[in-house]
Amino acid sequence: MTGPEALDALRERLPGLGAHPPDPAASAEVTPGELRGELLYLRDNLHFDHLVFVTALDRPDQSRLEVVYRLFSYETKLSVVLRVLLPRDDARVATVSDIYRTAEWHERETAEMFGIDFAGHPNPRKLLLPDDIEGHPLRKDFTHPNMIRLPEVE
């Protein structure tokens, strides 16, 4: 499959697909219930064989967290980003570590830093922080007793 053929197939599969310059990766929003099916389709049919990363963004102005999955195809040299929007107070999505093995580490870090529950993860223990840290350091509302807040830059 060529890059243009794969891109056409992507646009047909994910109608909301758009690109965000200067990043050449196409991006689409999927629901938590659609995520696993879309990843399986992308891996098995469009040869997106590498999960580059899983991370999250905190969108407090929209009361949500956004989980970001970036995939790459070595065959077509295309990259695609799937975004899953989750409510801040119930941030849960199924693990994809059985689809892409590299997700095990990425999901652990994202869970720890953002408080997202990757349901079914095979090893959900902390990866980076000491056990006595409470909260999730990459959420905008995180505070720690020893943390110094710098003023907002306008």
Say if domain 3-94 classifies as CATH 3.40.640.10.
Answer: no
Contact 83, 93 (CB under 8 A): no
pTM of the model: 0.87
- Convert the pLDDT of each residue in 66-121 to its tens digit: 999 999 999 988 889 999 999 999 999 999 999 999 999 999 999 999 999 999 99
Residue in 73, 68, 65, 19 with CA at minimum distance from that of residue 41: 73
- The answer on pLDDT for 22 being more than 50 is no
Contact 83, 67 (CB under 8 A): yes
Contact 36, 99 (CB under 8 A): yes
Enumerate the domain spans of the chain: 3-94
Specify the pLDDT at position 58: 95
